[in-house]
Structure 1
Amino acid sequence: MDDVELVEQVRRRWEQGVPPKVIARALGVRPSVVAPLVRRIAAEAAASRGLGRVLGCWVNCGWSVGLGLEGHPEWAELDAPAGEAEGFAQVLVAREGRRGRATLRGYLADVHCLGVKNARDPETMDAGRIPTAVRRYYAAFDRPAVEIPIELGRELIRGAAAYARGLGFEPADAFDGDAAAFLGEWDGPGRIEFGRDGQPFYLNGPYDNSAAVIRTLERSVGAGNFHFSVAAGPM
């Protein structure tokens, strides 16, 4: 594989949200070879998309339940578990635009099993409207959103995508190269232990094929190495 082909292979996988160490393993090269390529590709992508500085990042209460945060105890202190959103992280990121404008993107991840479930299209507005947009985005929750560092928001979404991919689940189609890049460069795997208390935990949704999800988990981690809760209905 020549240098040009290597760069293109790295670029294609990076745009899919694959962590650098996983890219290196897939391509049979050292992580030290891939890391500078990823940094260059990310910088080029940011420049081409005109990403501005981060104005704020938010997540719902309850995002940390069941996650391993030993490497970042200060992150755990940011949460106030609420109960109704355990296992899900709804992250909103705002970046600076031109002339007092801002661009916002939202993400929804199942941090216990399935990874990124949705990524919203970017929304541009006056920067002064950001507080109103945040309240609207989290209106379905009983408690206000928590403001967090972008590093945490990035790891919750990109890390959840990588975790789920390792279990056999791809992120939602909306989580494309642009949506992933908006979060910023991620060198993962990070310090969050995804799953619930160290194991995948599947809670079925209204549009899931629960039987297929469970079969996938049986293949990837083996029966008895995951937990699930499925509402009554056909399997």
Structure 2
Amino acid sequence: MSLLRSSGSWPLLEVIINAEWEDTMQITQLVIARRGPTGQVAIGTFLIDLACLGVKNAYGYLFPNERAYRNSLRADMTSKQKMVAIELDCAAKIIEEAIAYAKKLGFRPHKDIRYARPVMGETHPEQCDLDVPLGGPEGKPFFIAGPYDNPERIMRILDRKVGPGNYTYLTPIGPETLFFEDDDFEEKWEE
């Protein structure tokens, strides 16, 4: 753990983000990787919801070497989506603006951000001229429930902070939900 805390001063190996990060309807995945003095690689990774919840998940990890990093986490991420390089200050700006937006809505970053944030090291987000999109397509919060979210709790918080009708949400349909309640449909299907 102490190596992770000090890793922010190590040379940057790379900072990558999913290519479609500006689409607020997608979860943004961002990784900061630094090479240590004996070849180890410290990473801070962030899952970011720019439409509502901010930093949904984060963690810091120490790989024994660059090969281990590239063959595991990096290979897994790049097999699922296109990742592109981004400047560290711009990565920090995305993270900080997502946190600030979510805070206004009543949400805090994932508790494990304390392990990922030290890997960022010293940053200057104000020097990045990227416009970070926040909120859904209509400019208001858009909550898309994930597998580990508590939709009822999140919607109560949104009701309290921005008011009913001032946000959009999408939650999974439970197994007990009836898709069709139209008797005509059932009769036509049985014919």
1:149 aligns with 2:90: no
Q: TM-score, normalised by structure 1?
A: 0.61
User: 2:119 aligned to 182, 194, 203, which one?
Assistant: 182
What amino acid is the match of 1:113?
C
Contact 1:95 1:103 (8 Å CA) reproduced = yes
What amino acid is the match of 1:64?
E
Residue 203 of structure 1: aligned partner: 144
Q: Show CA shifts across 1:81-101 (max 9, x none).
A: xxxxx4211111111210333
Aligned length: 165
1:158 aligns with 2:96: yes
Percent identity, aligned pairs only, is: 29
1:136 aligns with 2:75: yes
1:115 aligns with 2:73: no
Structure 1 residues 207 and 103: alpha-carbon distance in aligned structure 2, compared to 1, 3 A threshold: closer
1:60 aligns with 2:1: no
1:170 aligns with 2:108: yes
**Richer in strand (by share):** 2
**CA distance in structure 2 between the aligned counterparts of 1:161 and 1:53, rounded to whole angstroms:** 26
Q: TM-score, normalised by structure 2?
A: 0.73
Contact 1:89 1:156 (8 Å CA) reproduced = no
**CA distance in structure 1 between the aligned counterparts of 2:148 and 2:7, rounded to whole angstroms:** 36
Contact 1:154 1:186 (8 Å CA) reproduced = yes
Q: Show CA shifts across 1:73-114 (max 9, x none).
A: xxxxxxxxxxxxx42111111112103333222211111111
**CA distance in structure 2 between the aligned counterparts of 1:232 and 1:128, rounded to whole angstroms:** 42
User: 2:6 aligned to 39, 49, 62, which one?
Assistant: 49
Query: Which of the pair has more CA radius of gyration?
Result: 2
**CA distance in structure 1 between the aligned counterparts of 2:96 and 2:21, rounded to whole angstroms:** 15
Question: Once superposed, which parts of structure 1, at least 4 consecutive aligned residues long, lie more than 3 Å away?
Answer: 127-135, 184-188
Q: Show CA shifts across 1:174-220 (max 9, x none).
A: 112x42232233556x8423112322110011222212211211211
User: 2:165 aligned to 205, 213, 224, which one?
Assistant: 224
Contact 2:11 2:35 (8 Å CA) reproduced = yes
What is the Cα-based RMSD across aligned positions, in Å? 2.5
Q: What SS does structure 2 have at the residue aligned with 1:121?
A: strand
